[in-house]
C-alpha cells in the first residue's frame, strides 16, 4: 500500500506536522503548559486546512484555538487554583 | 493500562480496514460537491459556496449548531452557580505590569473588533462568516478584561443585556425559517430578493441568517467567558499585586 | 494510491483516546478530547479534497474551475463549533467535581456519592 505518492510535498509536510503535534499535546501533563502547546497544535491544523484549500474551516480553527480554547482552559485552571488556595487558607 | 493497549490495537486494525476501502486522496467521486460548486452561485448569488451550503442548502444543521451553543451556555451557567460569589469584584482593579503589553493589547482590541465585524459582514462574499467573526469580536471585547481593569469590562458581563441578544440571534434564525413556512414554501427557503453576486446586498436570507448567527455566537461566547471568569476575579488579591 | 491523510487522522484519534484514558487531571482530559475531535476535521477535509482543486470561493475565479467539496467544509465548520460547546461543558463539570470533592483526578472521583 503506497503511502504518499499523490501528495504534493507541502501537503505531506503539513500532515506530518499535525501528526507530530498530537502526541506532544497529549504528553504534556501540566494543564497550563498544555494550553499553550494546544494553541501551537491549533496553528499547525490551520496550516493544514489552508493547504487543503479550506479557508472557512481554517478561519474557524484559528479563532477557536487562539481565543476560545485558551480562555476557557485558563479560566478553569485559575478557578481550580483559587479554590485550592481558599481551602488551604481556611485550614490554617 | 493492560486493557488499553489491546483495545487501541483493535481500534487501529478497524481503522486500517476502513481506510483500505476509501478512494485515494484527491480522487473525489461523490456528486454533491461537484453539483453544488456549479449550482449555488447562479441560484443563490453568493460567491462563498461554503456559506451558501451552511446557511441555505444545509440550513437546518446550522440551526441545530446554534442551539448546541445555546444549550452549552445554559449548562455552564447552571453548573457554575457558586454560592460563595462575593460582590467584591466591582471594587478591585488590576493593572498589567508592562506598559508595552498594555499598548499592544489596546491596539488589538480595536483591530480585532474591526476584523471580526468585517468577517461577519462579508461572510457570504469572501471566506469568513458569522461564527468566525463572532468569536473574534467577542475575543477582542474580552481583551478589555486583560488590558484594562475589571471596571472597563463590566458592561460586557451584564447577563441581563446579553441574554436577550443571544436569544435574538438564535430565535431570529428560527423566525426566518418560519416566515418561509408561513408563506407557503418549505422551512428555511430563501425568500428574500437575491441581489447582485459579489456585493454585500446579495444572497437573500443567507445574509440575514449570517447576522443572526453572528449575534448569537458572539453573545454566547461573552456569556460563556463571563461565567467562567466570574469568581476568578474575587479571591486572588494578595498574589495579583505581587505579579 | 495515497492513504497518508487518512492514516494521520486515525493516528490522531488513537493518540487522543490514549490521552483521555491515561489522564490524571480533568483539564488535561478535556484538551486530549479536543485532540481526538480534531482527527474528525482532518478526515472530513481529506475526503473532500479534489486533486488540483481550488477553494470553493468564486469571487474572481471563473465558474467551472474544479473546486474542492464545500459540503465537508460546512460539516467541519459545524464540528468545530460543537467542540467548543463540548469543552466548555466538560470544564464546567470538572470545576463542579472539584468543588464537591476537592480533587481534579478522575481516578479518585469514584468516591463521590449523592
Name the average pLDDT for chain C.
Answer: 89
Distance from CA of B126 to the nearest CA of A (A): 9
- In this structure, the number of other CB atoms found within 10 A of the CB of residue B185 comes to 12
Distance CA B180, CA B188 (A): 6
Q: How far is CA B25 from the centre of its chain?
A: 30
Give a yes or no: residue A53 inside a domain.
Answer: yes
Distance from CA of A34 to the nearest CA of B (A): 19
Whole-model pTM? 0.89
Distance CA C82, CA C88 (A): 10
Distance CA C10, CA C16 (A): 10
Backbone phi, then psi, for B63, in 5-degree steps?
-65, -40
**3-state DSSP assignment of residue C23:** coil
Instruction: Write out the residue range of the structural domain in which residue A42 sits.
Output: 9-91
Per the CB < 8 Å rule, is A6 touching B25? Answer: yes
Distance CA C96, CA C20 (A): 19
Give a yes or no: residue A59 inside a domain.
Answer: yes
Beta bridge partner(s), residue B48: C57
Per the CB < 8 Å rule, is A71 touching B142? Answer: yes
- The size of the A-B interface in CB pairs under 8 A is 60
Nearest to B81 by CA among C30, C95, A68, A81: C95
Partner residue facing A49 (CB), from C12, C45, C98 = C45
Give me the percent of chain A exceeding a pLDDT of 90. Answer: 70
Beta bridge partner(s), residue C2: A4
Q: How far is CA B180 from CA A18, B46, B174, in A?
A: 43, 19, 10
CA nearest A70 in C: which residue? C31
Distance from CA of A42 to the nearest CA of C (A): 9
Is A8 touching B (CB cutoff 8 A)?
Answer: no
- C3, C4, C39, best to mutate vs chain A, most A CBs in 10 Å: C4
Give me the percent of chain B exceeding a pLDDT of 90. Answer: 28
Give a yes or no: residue A13 inside a domain.
Answer: yes
- The C-alpha cell that represents B186 in the structure block: 418549505
Can you give the pLDDT at residue B85?
54
Dihedral over Cα of B88, B72, B125, A63: its sign? positive
Can you give the pLDDT at residue B82?
66
Rounded average pLDDT over B65-73: 92
**Residue C112: which pLDDT band, with cuts at 50, 70 and 90?**
low
pLDDT at A17 over 90: yes
Q: How far is CA B122 from CA A36, B53, B127, C69, in A?
A: 31, 16, 8, 21
Neighbours of chain A (3+ CB pairs under 8 A): B, C
Structural domains for chain C: 4-111 (1.10.287.3510)
pLDDT at B240 over 50: no
Tens digit of each residue's pLDDT (9 = 90 or more) over B137-192:
999 988 888 787 777 777 777 778 888 889 899 898 899 888 888 887 788 777 77
Asked whether C65 and C54 are in contact (CB, 8 A), the reply is: yes
Give a yes or no: residue A2 inside a domain.
Answer: no
Write a three-state SS string for B39-62.
HHHHHHCCCEHHHHHHHHHCHHHH
Structural domains counted in chain A:
1
Is A40 touching C (CB cutoff 8 A)?
Answer: no
Beta bridge partner(s), residue C57: B48
Amino acid at each position: 500500500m503506497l503511502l504518499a505518492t499523490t501528495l504534493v510535498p507541502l501537503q505531506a509536510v503539513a500532515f506530518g506536522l499535525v501528526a507530530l503535534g498530537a502526541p506532544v499535546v497529549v504528553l504534556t501533563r501540566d494543564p497550563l503548559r498544555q494550553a499553550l502547546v494546544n494553541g501551537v497544535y491549533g496553528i499547525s491544523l490551520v496550516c493544514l486546512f489552508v493547504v487543503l484549500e479550506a479557508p472557512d474551516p481554517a478561519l474557524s480553527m484559528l479563532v477557536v484555538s487562539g481565543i476560545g480554547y485558551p480562555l476557557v482552559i485558563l479560566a478553569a485552571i485559575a478557578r481550580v487554583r483559587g479554590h485550592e488556595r481558599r481551602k488551604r487558607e481556611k485550614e490554617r | 493500562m493492560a486493557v488499553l493497549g489491546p483495545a487501541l490495537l483493535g481500534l487501529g486494525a478497524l481503522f486500517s480496514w476502513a481506510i483500505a476501502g476509501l478512494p485515494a486522496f484527491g480522487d473525489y467521486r461523490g456528486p454533491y460537491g461537484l453539483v453544488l460548486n456549479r449550482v449555488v452561485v447562479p441560484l443563490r448569488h453568493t460567491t462563498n459556496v461554503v456559506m451558501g451550503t451552511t446557511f441555505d442548502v444545509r440550513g437546518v444543521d446550522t440551526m441545530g449548531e446554534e442551539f448546541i451553543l445555546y444549550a452549552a451556555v445554559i449548562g455552564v451557567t447552571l453548573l457554575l452557580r457558586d454560592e460563595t460569589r462575593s460582590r467584591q469584584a466591582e471594587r478591585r482593579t488590576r493593572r498589567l505590569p508592562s506598559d508595552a503589553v498594555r499598548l499592544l493589547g489596546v491596539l488589538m482590541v480595536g483591530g480585532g473588533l474591526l476584523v471580526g465585524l468585517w468577517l461577519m459582514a462579508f461572510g457570504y462574499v469572501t471566506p469568513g462568516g458569522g461564527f468566525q467573526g463572532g468569536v473574534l469580536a467577542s475575543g477582542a471585547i474580552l481583551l478589555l478584561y486583560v488590558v484594562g481593569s475589571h471596571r472597563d469590562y463590566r458592561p460586557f458581563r451584564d447577563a441581563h443585556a446579553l441574554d436577550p441578544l443571544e436569544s435574538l440571534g438564535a430565535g431570529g434564525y428560527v423566525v426566518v425559517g418560519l416566515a418561509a413556512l408561513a408563506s407557503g414554501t418549505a422551512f428555511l427557503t430563501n425568500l428574500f430578493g437575491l441581489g447582485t453576486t459579489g456585493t454585500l446586498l446579495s444572497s437573500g436570507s443567507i445574509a440575514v441568517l449570517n447576522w443572526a448567527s453572528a449575534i448569537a455566537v458572539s453573545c454566547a461566547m461573552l456569556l460563556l467567558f463571563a461565567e467562567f471568569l466570574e469568581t476568578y476575579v474575587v479571591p486572588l488579591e494578595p498574589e495579583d499585586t505581587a505579579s | 494510491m495515497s492513504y497518508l491523510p487518512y492514516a494521520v487522522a486515525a493516528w490522531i484519534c488513537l493518540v487522543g483516546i490514549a490521552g483521555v484514558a491515561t489522564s490524571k487531571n480533568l483539564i488535561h482530559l478535556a484538551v486530549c478530547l479536543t485532540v481526538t475531535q480534531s482527527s474528525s476535521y482532518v478526515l472530513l477535509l481529506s475526503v473532500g479534497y479534489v486533486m488540483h482543486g481550488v477553494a470553493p470561493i468564486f469571487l474572481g475565479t471563473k465558474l467551472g474551475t474544479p473546486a474542492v467539496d464545500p459540503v465537508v467544509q460546512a460539516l467541519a465548520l459545524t464540528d468545530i463549533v460543537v467542540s467548543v460547546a463540548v469543552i466548555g461543558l466538560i470544564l464546567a463539570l470538572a470545576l463542579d467535581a472539584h468543588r464537591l470533592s476537592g480533587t481534579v483526578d478522575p481516578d479518585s472521583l469514584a468516591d463521590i456519592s449523592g
